[in-house]
């Protein structure tokens, strides 16, 4: 777990430095452009283009001043847009940092559930049953880790995001109960269980149920939408 925290911390520092550098570059370019325009206008106002009368120079100066004003507005708009885009990027990166560990745990839980569905309980044996139970424990361990990561994330989130993360955590708690009751609870008692086939079918049915494997995917999609668009729709 430590390397992930170091990686996350390192990414956060890098993102902050990049944002500061971008702001400095934007403002430096803006100042240079203004200075360039200022000295060009000053040159024409003081010396004026050769062969022009005083009135023509005044008209040209007025037109130049208007162009400078328009250009200043253009540059100001671009700087505002750039600042807004950087802010949106920072907010997105913050949301990603908030839930990336929880999402990773959920993805691992989903993969473990898929492996349980595809590979386990295929043969009637004690070893098969033991492996399947270990896989269920693996699912629960990942979901437990996800809930702990969500609690950490809430400490760093704003009020609205805290509510969303709390609801996601509540859904994960429901999923854990479904896994324990509808999946593990349907397992054959032992390798001599006369209803082995029926119980394995019940396990697969529970995994295929909307509250089973499909719900893992729905939660992952919800977290993705939260990261990308700040959407807070909990399935």
Q: What is the pLDDT of residues 50-60, one digit of tens each?
A: 556 767 767 77
Task: Of 98, 93, 94, 97, give the one whose Cα is nearest residue 165.
Answer: 98
Q: What is the mean pLDDT of residues 88-103?
A: 84
pLDDT computed for residue 40 by the predictor: 63
Lowest mean per-residue pLDDT among 83-87, 150-154, 202-206, 210-214: 83-87
Distances (CA, A) of 19 to 83, 92, 93: 10, 13, 12
pLDDT computed for residue 76 by the predictor: 73
pLDDT at residue 43 greater than cutoff 70: no
Residues 6+ apart with CB under 8 A from 44: 57, 60, 61, 64
Contact 112, 135 (CB under 8 A): yes
User: pLDDT-derived band of residue 85, with 50, 70 and 90 as boundaries?
Assistant: confident
pLDDT computed for residue 211 by the predictor: 87
pLDDT at residue 88 greater than cutoff 70: no
pLDDT at residue 12 greater than cutoff 50: no
Contact 151, 172 (CB under 8 A): no
pLDDT computed for residue 5 by the predictor: 40
Lowest mean per-residue pLDDT among 1-5, 59-63, 144-148: 1-5
Q: What is the mean pLDDT of residues 99-127?
A: 94
For the chain, give the number of residues. Answer: 235
Q: What is the mean pLDDT of residues 71-76?
A: 72
Report yes or no on whether pTM surpasses 0.75. no
pLDDT computed for residue 8 by the predictor: 40
pLDDT computed for residue 65 by the predictor: 73
User: pLDDT-derived band of residue 133, with 50, 70 and 90 as boundaries?
Assistant: very high
């Amino acid at each position: 777990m430590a390397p992930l925290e170091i990686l996350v911390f390192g990414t956060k520092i890098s993102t902050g430095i990049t944002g500061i550098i971008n702001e400095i570059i934007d403002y430096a370019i803006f100042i240079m452009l203004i200075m360039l325009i200022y000295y060009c206008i000053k040159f024409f106002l003081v010396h004026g283009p050769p062969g022009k009368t005083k009135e023509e120079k005044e008209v040209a100066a007025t037109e130049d001043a208007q162009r400078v004003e328009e250009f200043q507005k253009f540059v100001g708009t671009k700087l505002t847009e750039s600042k807004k885009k950087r802010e949106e990027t920072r907010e997105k990166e913050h949301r990603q940092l908030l839930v990336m560990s929880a999402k990773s745990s959920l993805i691992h839980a989903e993969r473990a559930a898929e492996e349980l569905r595809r590979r386990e309980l295929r043969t009637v044996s004690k070893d098969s049953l033991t492996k399947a139970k270990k896989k269920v424990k693996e699912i629960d361990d990942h979901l437990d880790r996800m809930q702990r990561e969500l609690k950490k994330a809430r400490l760093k989130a704003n009020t609205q995001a805290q509510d969303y993360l709390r609801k996601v955590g509540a859904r994960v708690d429901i999923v854990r109960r479904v896994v324990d009751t509808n999946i593990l609870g349907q397992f054959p008692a032992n390798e001599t269980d006369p209803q082995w086939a029926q119980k394995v079918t019940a396990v697969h049915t529970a995994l295929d149920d909307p509250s089973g494997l499909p719900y893992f995917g729905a939660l992952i999609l919800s977290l993705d939408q939260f990261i990308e668009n700040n959407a807070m729709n909990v399935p």
